[in-house]
Structure formats: structure tokens, C-alpha cells
Amino acid sequence: MPQFSKHYQNSVIQISDLSKYYELGDTPICALDHVSFTIDKGEMVFIMGPSGSGKTTLVNLIGGIDHPSGGHIEILGEDIARYSDKDLTLYRKKRLAFVFQFYSLIPTLTARENVELTLELTHQNRKEIGKIAEEHLALVGLEHRMDNYPSQLSGGERQRVAVARALAKSPDILLVDEPTGQLDQKTGDSIVELIRKISKEQNKTVLLVTHDLELARYADRIITLRSGKIVSDELNTQAPVLAPTPAPVPVQVPLIVDRR
């Protein structure tokens, strides 16, 4: 286990010497090549780069969907690279929320029910589920569309439901993968602006993957990958400044890791 600096220990995400190899027949393919970086609480960091640069692989590793070939992925002081599959499932359930390109809404459930279902899966108090769902749908501007089905919503509205569903879990980290891929430029811009606004108000840590250079202005930092390596890690001095506002303190469910 590497020894991290004081700054490193204060970070929410701590990536150290992370690598991922795949086998293509007898040929090893390097998807990530000894990547290291940190992300602090409340930062909104964009991962950018051309197709095949390792962006999706990186998000899958941080999201506990895939296992690294080497290196460390410390999330709030826990190295998830050492987790079992059971531990990773619990980690994804308690610590993370995802926003995907294709919304991933259940078509037979209303907007409200899509958000409520996620809360039920995270063992929230059933008496509070409806209230929390309504609060988060209102937060993304859908207070008048809660009882509509996905087929009755526009693409932008569906993505807003996905954002509400993710934030309702009160995650430590929000992983956002190409959230504007199915949207026009204006709608996509409004979705990323919304994610930035809410994440700053709630002091959430956001890791967002995009290929759209037009959206880069919303990032606090931009990490650029190419051929599995970080080629730049830059602060965005032009990012909109939004001071965090006081928010209700969520009840945190402790992450219990099976050490057997």
C-alpha cells in the first residue's frame, strides 16, 4: 500500500499507478497505463480524450464495475482494488450514483416511481421515499412531470429524471458518462449546467466523461487521456463560481466490508 501525502489523504478519489490490460487472443491490450491523480470533495472533474483513450475503462474501474490489473483506487480511504465482488456491490450501492448516456429509466414506471425504486433498493425508510423522490424531482425542475412515463418526456427531461434518481441516493461520488450523447447541444448544455449547479450546492464530487469540448467550461479540472495515459491535468480558471449552500445533512449508511 503506497504512503500518501496529507493532501492525498484528504481527497475523495485517490488513483495511484492504475493499470488495466485486456487479452485479445495472445496479445495484451493496454487500456490504462499507470495512471495517477486525485479528486477532492466537491470537485467537478471532466475526463476527456479521443475514442479508445481509456475514459470508459477508468470510469468502470472507479465505479467498481471492472477489476484493475495493477495499482490502487482509494475511495474515502478504502482501496476498492482489493475488494471482493460482494464488497464492490455494496460499494456501488452505498457510495456511488451513475448517470448514463441512455438514461436507463424503466419505461413502465413514472418519473416519481423510477426515483423511488432506487431509494427502495438502498433501504431508505419507506415512509420517506415519496418525499425524497418529490424533493429531488423538484430540484431538477420536474415538479409538474412526476407522474409522467419516460415515453411522455423529452430527452432532456429523461436525463433530468436520471440526475434526480442519482442524487436521491445522496452518494459520495457522482459518475456521469457522456450525459449529452443523446441530446442536442442546447439541451445537453443545460443538463451539465444543472449537474454543476446542484453538485456545488450540495458539495458533491463529480467525475464526468465527455468528448464535447463545448462543455469543458463547466469543469473545475480537465484530465485528458490518450492511449491509456494522462497527457494533461489542468485547472479551468473560467469555470462558473457557485458557492455551496447549506443543505440537509443526509443520513449516511456505513459501508460494511466483508473481511472474511
Q: pLDDT per residue over 20-63, tens digit each? A: 999 888 888 999 999 999 999 999 999 999 988 999 999 999 99
Tens digit of each residue's pLDDT (9 = 90 or more) over 133-166: 999 999 999 999 999 999 999 999 999 999 999 9
Counting residues of the chain whose pLDDT is more than 90, the rounded percentage is 67
> How would you list the strands of the sheet with 205-209, edge to edge?
96-99, 173-177, 205-209, 44-48, 221-226, 229-235
- Determine the pLDDT at residue 9: 54
> How would you list the strands of the sheet with 13-24, edge to edge?
27-39, 13-24, 70-75, 78-79
Q: Are 255 and 95 in contact (CB under 8 A)?
A: yes
Tens digit of each residue's pLDDT (9 = 90 or more) over 87-138: 999 999 889 999 987 778 999 999 999 999 989 877 667 778 999 999 999 9
- Determine the pLDDT at residue 108: 96
One-letter identity of residue 36: S
Average pLDDT along the chain: 87
Instruction: Label residue 255 by pLDDT band (50, 70, 90).
Output: low
Pairwise pLDDT comparison (1 vs 245), residue with the higher score: 245
CA distance 91 to 256: 9
Rounded mean pLDDT, 242-260 = 50
- Determine the pLDDT at residue 232: 95
Instruction: Label residue 238 by pLDDT band (50, 70, 90).
Output: confident
Question: Which residues have C-beta within 8 Å of that of residue 193, sequence separation ≥ 6?
Answer: 218, 240
- Determine the pLDDT at residue 123: 65
Pairwise pLDDT comparison (221 vs 2), residue with the higher score: 221
CA distance 139 to 132: 10
Question: Which residue bears the cell 451513475?
Answer: 98
Tell me the CATH number for domain 40-66+83-235. Answer: 3.40.50.300
* CA dihedral sign of residues 220, 224, 228, 231: negative
* Residue 80 DSSP class: G
For residue 200, give the C-alpha cell.
Answer: 456545488
